[in-house]
Amino acid sequence: QVQLQQWGAGLLKPSETLSLTCAVYGGSFSGYYWTWIRQPPGKGLEWIGEIHHSGNTNYNPSLKSRVTISGDTSKNQFSLRLSSVTAADTAVYYCARGGSGVIFTYYFYYMDVWGKGTTVTVSS
């Protein structure tokens, strides 16, 4: 059974860089979209971005200038870096395994395995 274990600093000061890593256990890195999602306190889910096993990345346009997602296939890990954080970046950050498919002309995307989440607080 695939599991994702994530870690990283939980308390940051404004202007610092958020850095989180997610390790994939019990499954292959290939064939999936490795995704980061966040959830501010009391709010909904926000897609941050993803990295395909091929190395291609795709970011939320609202965060693109500050986000980097990278992968290390030799370690079955992928990472998130978010620069110049502010209090608005305070959230629970999740990593997830994403898949896709197509039925006739309809494509679909999903995330079937999630990490437990890391609470990141930005405060001076």
Partner 1 sequence: SSELTQDPGVSVALGQIVRITCQGDSLRSYYASWYQQKPGQAPVLVVYGKNNRPSGIPDRFSGSSSGNTASLTITGAQAEDEADYYCYSRDTSGNHRVFGGGTKLTVL
Residue numbers at the binding site for partner 1 (CB under 8 A): 35, 37, 44-47, 50, 58-61, 94, 101, 103, 105-112, 114-117
CB 35 within 8 A of CB 28: no
* Cα–Cα nearest to 40, from 89, 95, 83: 89
The CA distance from 48 to 65, in Å, is 12
Nearest approach in angstroms of CB 113 to partner 1 is 8
Nearest approach in angstroms of CB 16 to partner 1 is 25
Nearest approach in angstroms of CB 39 to partner 1 is 8
Q: Pick the closer one to partner 1 by CB: 14 or 26.
A: 26
In sequence order, the 6+-apart residues with CB closer than 8 A to the CB of 12 are: 18, 85, 120, 121, 122, 123
Q: Pick the closer one to partner 1 by CB: 15 or 58.
A: 58
